[in-house]
Structure 1
Amino acid sequence: MSRLGNIHYPVTDLATALAFYMSAFDLKPKFVDGQRYAALDAGGTTLALAGPEEDLTDGAVAASFKVDDVQTALDAIKAAGGSVVQPPTAGPHELRAVVSDPWGNTLIVYGPK
């Protein structure tokens, strides 16, 4: 089963971005990992601010789908007409891959290591 886990938002300065989104939109942090990554509660959706070290998409905003098994999800994506842009890699907290839908939109798929 898949679910929308977050919206991946690459930023060049995590501390400044975190301050902006907390101040401008009153978003509350759910998790902060130094200058790498911050998850903000955006009212039922997570806004994932990714610093340069955690930017998986070369600056593209991307929906991130949490799945039970990354390889199974990648097989289903390819069978449905999508493609793998970056194969699965182990991040600090999960296994993740970058994929593309048939229209070229970037997506992230992540799940347990």
Structure 2
Amino acid sequence: MLRKIDCVMLKVTEIEKAAAYYETVFGLKRLWQDEHSVGMGMPETDAEMVLHNHADLPKDLNVHYLVDDVLKAVENLSTQGCVIRAQPFDIAIGKCAVIEDPFGNVLAILDMTKGART
């Protein structure tokens, strides 16, 4: 079900300042940007580091896993002992949801049902 790590999200207060810092200090490349986030690329992976200031996302929810279909995954996981902490919601590329496994670990899952960013 989990296909890969799609992104690691880091909450920042100043998007532009943080993006410039990560470009200069860590050598990352801007891939895309919107009002609340910027996707930063690394040379040896297609996983992104997303710098964001989304008020509704907790600071400690960092790793997002790609699945084929969030709605189906949530339906399946809810019958397998997972608690749905955030029901599926729309994001730019598809849907996202937050689950908690029976061991207390919180995972964010997302799909790309609307297509990849260009």
Give TM-score scaled by structure 1 length: 0.81
Q: What's the Cα RMSD here?
A: 2.0
* Structure showing the higher helix proportion among its residues: 1
Write out aligned runs for 1:1-113 (5 A). 1=1, 2-34=3-35, 36-42=36-42, 43-44=44-45, 45-53=47-55, 56=57, 58-111=58-111, 112=113
Structure 2 stretches lacking a partner, 5+ long:
none
After superposing on structure 2, the runs of 4+ consecutive aligned residues of structure 1 that deviate more than 4 Å are none
Q: Is the 8 A contact 2:28 2:41 kept in 1?
A: yes
1:76 Cα offset (Å): 3.2
Instruction: Judge conservation of contact 2:37–2:53 (CA < 8 Å) in 1.
Output: yes
Structure 1 regions of 5+ residues with no counterpart? Answer: none
Residues 101 and 24 of structure 1: is their aligned pair in 2 closer, same or farther, counting only changes over 3 Å? farther
1:41 Cα shift?
0.9
Contact 1:12 1:52 in 2 (8 A): no
Query: What TM-score, normalized to structure 2?
Result: 0.78
Cα offset, 1:110, TM superposition? 1.2
The size of the alignment, in residue pairs, is: 110
The percentage of aligned residue pairs carrying the same residue is: 25
Q: Once the two structures are superposed, what CA deviation does each residue of 1:6-37 show, in whole Å capped at 9, x if it has no partner?
A: 11212121111111111110000111113x11
Deviation at 1:46, TM superposition (A): 1.0
